[in-house]
Amino acid sequence: MNNMLKSLLGGIVAALIAGCATYPDDVTTRQAAEQMVLDAFAAAPEHLKRLQQDRSQQICSKVGQQQLTGEEAAEVVKLARAAIKYPVSGNIVGDWKTGDALAHDGAGDRIRDGKIEDRKENGGLCQNCHALAPGEINVGNVGPALTGYGKQRGNSEAVAKYTYEKIYNAWIYFPCSNMPRLGATGHLTPEQVAHMVAYLLDPQSPINK
Amino acid sequence: MLMEDNPGELWVDQGKDLFHAKRGPKNVSLEQCDFGLGTGKLDGAAARLPRYFSDTDRVEDLESRLLTCMTRLQGFDRDQLISSAISAPASKGSDIEALALYITSRSNGMKVNVSLDHQKEREMYKAGEYLFYRRSGQTDFGCVQCHGEAGKRIRLQDLIHMTSKAGAQEVASSWPAYRGSHYVVRTMQWRLNDCVWQMRLPDLKYATDYSIALTTFLNRQGNDALIQVPGFKR
């Protein structure tokens, strides 16, 4: 009896001690974590800007990848639509050979020792995550395969417009998808996006062979 | 298993020598350093990191704890330690890399066991979880964009599925690791730096709460994994 009482009391004491530590609420966690971001990076102000989230990034950072509410999804789409830009020339289908090179270029815009890597222009990053022309081995699979993209969809004006917008800002069609908003964040220029549209759609492009 | 042929083993002995040697302006060894289980007690200590330390009133991971002891006990200059903490590829490696590997190797065969008993450990864990999902920068990347699904690759590089128990366990049990393409031993802090670089974020400072929070989150998720270091990475 005495032993039972002891173990019972021990259990209560243990529960009380464990009870002292609690998980902070979401607002407190957010404040603490955002302060950690501010403290963790050494950079010039123009580079530190990259750490500030825009409204869409905030919405798209849900812990545990919880589903967006309808309102949140609509806001992300609206923001994406509002910020889209097209090439000055008005031509959203550029040169497929230039686009081919861009699609296979995974570099550009990285910062080391306070300096952005020295390049004429940023790569398109496609190959990092997508299968491209048939037979290419060194391709990622985080995103869907784009092999035969134009062959399957044709190269109508509507397809070209969709493809341009999808690359420029994927969140127009898929709010908060894993795909970077390559044009909208400034990683690529509208002209570069147009070249990649040509790479995806042109019947002569290796991706459609 | 690659363990027997893992060149990282060379750094274990180096780290052991460094640990016991009298060094720094104060000419003392690290034997008086408390890694969480009492001064000089190394067996199983790394398996429980990150954890709260009352002498600093902070949650520290292995690398930040090493900095604490190397500055407080041995008198080394913190900034100097940090500037040499991550070694150049194909170099002899840094003292901190060797020490981190030796100390973690003293938990080999033991289970990762990050407890969240202290309030500050819970705060650190929740912050790490938040940061894992936090998207920013030119690529809109958080950690989860590459590490949230099974069977994914960037080009030919396999990505660990860290939102699964098995993936988190791989992370929690295999650092420090010998990196084949760099010919040196790399630590968790190096791993985070390289991710952040690919994410197009600015230079991550060494051993800040940002890294400690992410490591707390991942290691806790990886509890019960059997530690086996040096790991071996491409």
Per domain, the residue ranges of chain A are: 61-208
Instruction: Based on the residue annotation, tell me whether B195 is a catalytic residue of this protein.
Output: yes
Dihedral angle sign, alpha carbons of residues A48, A50, A53, A55: positive
pLDDT digits (tens, 9 = 90+) for A176-197: 999 999 999 999 999 999 999 9
Give residue for tokens 């864990």: B125
The two tokens of residue B158 are 């396999």
SS (H, E, C) A149-173: HHHHHCCCHHHHHHHHHHHHCHHHC
The C-alpha of A165 sits at a distance from chain B's nearest C-alpha, in angstroms, of 16
Report yes or no: A181 and A85 within 8 Å, Cβ to Cβ.
Answer: no
Facing A32 at nearest CB: one of B127, B146, B155: B127
Which two tokens mark B188? Answer: 């968790």
CB contact under 8 A, A51 and B201: yes
Contacting residues of A for B192, CB less than 8 Å apart: none
List Cα–Cα distances, B139 to A50, A100, A189, B133, B143, in angstroms: 10, 20, 14, 14, 11
Percent helix, percent strand, percent coil in chain A, to nearest 5: 50, 5, 45
Q: Give residue B217's pLDDT.
A: 98
What pLDDT tens digit does each residue of chain A (209 aa) get? 456 566 656 555 555 555 578 999 999 999 999 999 999 999 999 999 999 999 999 999 999 989 999 999 999 999 999 999 999 999 999 999 999 999 999 999 999 999 999 999 999 999 999 999 999 999 999 999 999 999 999 999 999 999 999 999 999 999 999 999 999 999 999 999 999 999 999 999 999 99
The CA-to-CA distance between both ends of chain A, in Å, stands at 82
The pLDDT of residue B1: 44
Could you tell me the pTM of the whole model? 0.94
Residues making up chain B, counted from first to last: 234
Q: What is the ipTM of this complex?
A: 0.96
Peptide bond between residue B50 and the one before it cis (omega within 30 degrees of 0): yes
On chain B, the residues whose CB falls within 8 A of the CB of A141 are 151-153
Q: What is the pLDDT of residue A178?
A: 97
Distance, in angstroms, between B34 CA and closest chain A CA?
23
Contact: A47, B202; criterion CB under 8 Å: yes
Q: How far, in Å, CA of B82 to CA of B127, rounded?
A: 24
Domains and CATH numbers, chain B: 3-233 (1.10.760.10)
A9 touches chain B (CB under 8 A): no
Q: Is B142 on the interface with A (CB under 8 A)?
A: yes
Q: With an 8 Å Cβ cutoff, are A36 and B126 in contact? A: no
Identify the segments of chain B with pLDDT beneath 50. 1-2
Q: What angle is formed at CA A56 by the lines to CA A50 and CA A58, rounded to 5 degrees?
A: 70
Contacts of B92 (CB under 8 A, 6+ apart): none
Chain B neighbours among A 98-157 (CB < 8 Å)?
Answer: 106, 109-114, 125, 127-129, 137-142
Collapsing DSSP states into helix, strand and coil, what is residue B216? helix
Task: Collect all residues with Cβ–Cβ distance below 8 Å to B37 and sequence separation of at least 6.
Answer: B43, B44, B45, B48
- pLDDT reported for residue B57: 98
**Token pair for B105:** 């190797």
Q: Is B124 exposed, middle or buried (0-12, 13-18, 19+ CB in 10 A)?
A: buried
The residues near B143 (Cβ < 8 Å, ≥ 6 apart) are B131, B132, B133, B162, B195, B214
Distances (CA, A) of A7 to A16, A138, B115, B117: 14, 61, 23, 21
Per the listing, tokens 């809109």 go with B140
pLDDT at position A5: 60
Measure the CA–CA gap between B144 and B23, rounded to whole angstroms.
41
Q: How many CB pairs under 8 A join A and B?
A: 152
The CA distance from B218 to the nearest CA of chain A, in Å, is 13
Number of Cβ within 10 Å of residue B119's Cβ equals 14
Q: Which of A41, A128, A140 sits opposite B201 (nearest CB)?
A: A41
Residue in the block written with tokens 């200590």: B45
pLDDT of residue A4: 58
CATH architecture of A61-208: Orthogonal Bundle (1.10)
Backbone angles phi, psi at A188, to 5 degrees: -120, 155
Q: How far is B58 from chain A (nearest CA, A)?
A: 14
Cβ separation B208–A18 shorter than 8 A: no
From chain B residues 113-132, the ones with a CB under 8 A of any chain A CB are 116-119, 121-123, 125-127, 129-132
Q: Burial letters for B129-155: b for 16+ Cβ neighbours within 10 Å, e otherwise?
A: bbbbbbbbbbbbbbbbbbbbbeebbbe
